[in-house]
Structure 1
Amino acid sequence: MRTLTGTGAVFAAGLLLFAGDVGSAGRDAGAAPTAPSASAPAAYPRNLIPDGYTGRFRIGAMVLQDEHHGPQLCVAAFTSNPPQCGGLDIPNWSWDGLPSETAAATKWGSYVLIGTVDGTTFRLTEPARAATDDDRGLFRQRLWPGSSIPCPTPAGGWRPVDPARTTHEAFAAAYGMVNAQPDYAGSWLGRLTPPDGTNDPDKVVLVVRFTGDLARHEVEIRAAYGGAICVTAAERSMAELTRIQVDEASEPGTTSSVDPVTGILGIEVFVGTQARQRELDARYGPGVIVLTGLLIPID
């Protein structure tokens, strides 16, 4: 689950788009294809700037203007038509000569921007241009949980131990049970075959992390579900990480997510600083929170 903070709402997967992935309703003639999302290399690790940085930034992102606000730089949007999003104001933006899409008094498009930041304002230092497929490295990356299986392969390989209880209904019951445990720390599906759009219980391993008694949890899960399971240890519970997420990722324009595989809380902000990462490390310990700047410093 990914949280778009500053709005007081939590959105399940499928309700948010990453800017640059919107559809084609109302596309102007000659509009450039949407640029896919991907991580971007940078001279600064995770785009974290040092104290005193006054240089420019580059980003690939959606720019959207509607009846409520002027042009704003966005990195996530509701999947409505037209999309809805908010971000940094761009006071010297011009739509002239740029491909765009329009619907219901809203105008938007995917662009590459270079400029400087002052608080909640992004000021262009050169004209924006339409994004192309070659710009994919400038767009924010979708983060999906991995499909690794951190337990040793049992004798005979991964397979259901009780086919009669290896059903979608039994899986749902087990999944609901583990999520209700106070020391639950995350879960995901380890896939035994390439993804085919389904979650066939015969082809996946239910991986669950807890901070407490692993043997007890395995017995309880096995009583409800006959498919392959892997129960493994974690340092922090999901409840603890969620509390940290609420405390540290509540600023407008901040996005955050807990990776169930690593137990790391990732926080993304428009401008990330090395000083803030040091503060988070001192407060929670190194590696608990990984801060990333969405704007890429280029000077």
Structure 2
Amino acid sequence: MISPAAGSALALWLDQQRALRGAAENTISAYCADVTGFLGFITRHKGAAQGLGALAEITTSDMRAWMAHMRARQIGPRSLARKLSAVKSFYRWLAEREGFEPTAVLATRSPRFQRKLPRPLSVEAARDVIDTAEFQSLTPWICARDRAVITLLYGCGLRISEALSLTGADAPLPATLRITGKGGKERLVPVLPAARAAVDDYTRACPHGIAPDGPLFLGARGGKLSPRAVQKVMEQVRGQLGLPATATPHAMRHSFATHLLNAGGDLRAIQELLGHASLSTTQAYTGVDTARLMEVYARAHPKA
């Protein structure tokens, strides 16, 4: 149980995250659960619902108690780091609004965890995935659809949610797509002729009416295609090709970025194509190692 004042503050913060930062509803739900869980713990820890004045007096000892409680519940380092990040973000906003110093919360160190770097496919494997994807159904138009979706993931570096958010008005695909990604951030993505051709083949074969304001990619019964259907196709393909479990739809996006970089693409330009806010995220996606960075540095730096 949290105090009405704390609940109202949390609701206002979530509204601002949604309106000003364009946070997705899944993100908002996760923020709400993480911060509510923290506030609920503080209530139990202190023995009473904490108003805004009490929340401003959270100590380092309180934060340590919360972290220990989370570990006792078998919350892993990665999940705990995410929860702490949400709590810090809320407290940063609350402190500015209420005029107090949130040092105890903001100074809490995030648990260390080993980041799982994405594993891109080789160029040959990526091509094999696209070629094999169209043979996972006995229905010709579904075969064309699966090829079109996976070609977009690899050929344009789209997230699966972005590909499935395309509408009938987007077809035939233009030379450049305007994609709205995470946080409502827009980017322009060039569309390869092969991707345009794959989508054209699908739209011609699709037996269902594709409305301009409806989804471009449809399921077998004419409704919006689900991400799970695409994931299932990739599961079948990787089994047939002997690829590892990391060969997911998202791995096609990783591969897009890595293959561009290996072909001489600029890391900053690839960051823009992927829609990453941070260059470090792009660096992780592309599996850039120190030797590769030094090679680029030596070739491009004006004093090299």
TM range (shorter): under 0.3
- Larger strand percent: 1
- Larger helix percent: 2
Greater relative contact order structure (CA < 8 Å, 6+ sep)? 1
